[in-house]
Chain A
Amino acid sequence: MTVKLTVNGEERQVEVKDGTRRLLDVIREDLGLTGAKEGCGEGECGACSVLLNGQLVNSCLVPIAQADGSRVLTPEGLAQTPEGQVLAEAFTECHGAQCGFCTPGMMMASAALLYRNSQPNEQEIREGLSGNICRCTGYDMIIDAVLMAAQKGRGLWG
């Protein structure tokens, strides 16, 4: 089947043999966008997070047929936006990234949070990121980064 997606603002068509193929595999293999990572393949770690029609999803749990006709924002696409840039700089400055494997997913979860709550407090950030596992940082510097991005990106998050 042919699947139409708007990926990072660009219209893409993908031929898939099977509509149950995971959105994660399509964006990584067919589209070459390897920012979203596979950490567990069972929706537990959040490393594969993307925004599907503006909502945070684990792309390892989405069959591609369900994404047909949808907008997909991947970590690469987020990075191209002003708010993504602010977030990436905050993660870099606050050392919110250590090994970096969870970081693209954390960026997506952070953006999803800030889009719905542009000035979250620490507890709200912890809740917003609770589906994204980080084994390096203990989360504190990730939270610092989101607070910084909320501050520096004031007005960007709508």
Chain B
Amino acid sequence: MSDSMKRHLASAALIIGFFLAWEAFCWIGHVSSFVLPRPSEIFTTLVKRLPAIMPHALQTLYTTMVGFLLGIVLGVLMGMLVGSSRLAYDVAYPMLIGFSSIPKVAVVPILVLWFSAGTVPAILTALSMCVFPIIVNVATGLATTEPELEDVMRCLRASKLDILWNVGLPRAMPYFFASLKVSITLAFVGSVISETVASNRGIGNLMMIASSSFDVPLMFAGLFVLAFLGVALYAIFSLIEGRVTGWAHRGTDLPMG
């Protein structure tokens, strides 16, 4: 059995073990399902009420993905701007930190005021959550490009655009993908926050409704759906990352003498 295979099996065993321990804990301690439902209970709820959960899940997925894609576009453009020179990087950085440290929950009421409750605030909250890691990472990737690599291009009389396209952006790719994996989970957080505060659709809204009727298993089912969506999207981007930036993760291959 290969090493990576073993690691995958161990990860799976850890997850299954976690649920088994949870189940056992509730069973032995006679924990009421109003406090902490058993995983088996949550799964049955999930399956039984899937038709009701599905539209909410799709809504959350939709707002998250739209916010995330807009975040990528805006993040890459801003990142290119900020990372284009050392000066721009130093000048823009404090303001970026300022913006990114505002708790996004506090922004939702303003967004609702502007765009009314529903899909638009959810998309914008997702966007505002996920855009900063992308900007910072793309900018860092560009700003830390080795000057020697740029010299190679400059003595070929390459234009700024040539250098950006052939050296800067490929060089920033590992940074970009690292930020995507962080950003996609943040985008979910943004969507769900906004849905909890002001929406009549989405997993966040579902959780609020379930909470007001003490439907604890349904709340946990909502959490499971979110976790599943998050993991699935993370996996997709990891896969793309491996394809695109394999050169930056070459740990085990030894160079030839």
Question: Are A and B genuine complex partners?
Answer: no
